[in-house]
Amino acid sequence: QKEVEQDPGPLSVPEGAIVSLNCTYSNSAFQYFMWYRQYSRKGPELLMYTYSSGNKEDGRFTAQVDKSSKYISLFIRDSQPSDSATYLCAMSEDQGAQKLVFGQGTRLTINP
Judged by CB, which is closer to another protein: 49, or 75?
A: 49
Contact call for residue 49 and another protein (CB under 8 A): yes
Q: How far apart are CA 34 and CA 87, in angstroms?
A: 10
Which of 16, 18, 20, 42 lies at the binding interface for another protein (CB under 8 A)?
A: 42
**Residue 86: CB minimum distance to another protein, A:** 10
43 CA to centre of own chain:
15
Contact call for residue 4 and another protein (CB under 8 A): yes
DSSP 45-104: EEEEEEESSEEEEETTEEEEEETTTTEEEEEESS--GGG-EEEEEEEESSTT--S-EE--
Which of 72, 74, 85, 88 lies at the binding interface for another protein (CB under 8 A)?
A: 88
User: Of the listed pieces 13-21, 37-45, 61-69, 70-78, which binds another protein according to CB under 8 A?
Assistant: 37-45
The residues, any chain, with a CB within 8 Å of residue 96's CB and separated by 6 or more, are none
The residues of the shown chain that bind another protein, judged by CB under 8 A, are 2, 4, 6, 8, 32, 36, 41-46, 49, 88, 90, 92, 95-105
